[in-house]
Amino acid sequence: MEALGIDFKLFLGQIINFLILLFILWRFAYRPVLKMLNDRREKIADSLENAKRIEENLAESEQKTREAIRNAQIESEKMIENAKKLAVEQRAEIIEIAKTQAGKETEKAKLAIAQEKNQASIELKKEMAQLVGLATEKILAKKADSDLQTQAINEAIEELK
């Protein structure tokens, strides 16, 4: 032991030295560094998760926007379609109305014409009756009296009716 230099005091001293170093390194190196490493690890995991969530959110909102745009497009197309349909319907209706109106006007005109014709024929008859009366009077002035004359005229008018 002596030749190998083993000395109990030195041996004990080295144990103490090493234990001091162990404590100091534990206190000032391993503990803070491990804490930092673990903290950082957690932080990185957190940020990765956050990034993932943000990406998901972004994708979702993009999807929503796209959907909204598509919906708006569909809506507008529908509106245009409706408007077109409405216009066609209205056109048909207007034409219809115009046609009936025209028909009515024609009818009215025809009626007026018929009335006029009637009136005219009545007036013509009256005139004719007068004329016939006059003529008959002229002819009968010489041959009959006025009673006969009126009787004849009345008969003639009766006949005409």
Partner 1 sequence: MGNIVYDWVAHHCENGGVFILPPSHYLIMYISLAAEKIIEIGPIAITNTILVTWVVVLLLSLSAGFATRKMKQIPAGAQNIWEFVVEAILGMVENVTSDRKKAEKILPIAATFFIFILTANWMGLIPGFETIGFWKIEEGHKVLVPFFRPPASDLNTTLALAIISVISIQVFGFGYLGFKYIKKFVNFKGPIEFFVGILETISEFAKIISFAYRLFGNVFAGGVLLAVVSSLIPYVVAVPFYGLELFVGFVQALVFAMLTTVFVHLATLSHAEHSETH
Measured distance CA(157)–CA(150) in Å, rounded: 10
CA dihedral in degrees (132, 134, 140, 146; nearest 10)? Answer: 110
- In the bound complex, what is the minimum distance in angstroms from residue 53's beta carbon to partner 1? 21
Coil, strand or helix at 145: coil
38-68 per-residue burial string, b: 16 or more CB within 10 A, e: under 16? eeeeeeeeeeeeeeeeeeeeeeeeeeeeeee
Q: Which x/- pattern over 8-27 shows residues binding partner 1 (rule: CB under 8 A)?
A: -xxxxxxx-xxxxxx-xxx-
Query: Please, which of residues 30-59 interact with partner 1 by CB under 8 A?
Result: 30, 32-37, 39-40, 43
The CA radius of gyration of the chain, in Å to the nearest whole number, is 63
The region of 7-15, 57-65, 77-85, 138-146 touching partner 1 under the rule CB under 8 A is: 7-15
Q: Which is nearer to partner 1, 34 or 120 (CB)?
A: 34
* CB nearer to partner 1: pick between 46 and 60: 46
Name the residue nearer to partner 1 (CB basis): 13 or 103.
13
**Nearer of residues 44 and 94 to partner 1, judged by Cβ:** 44
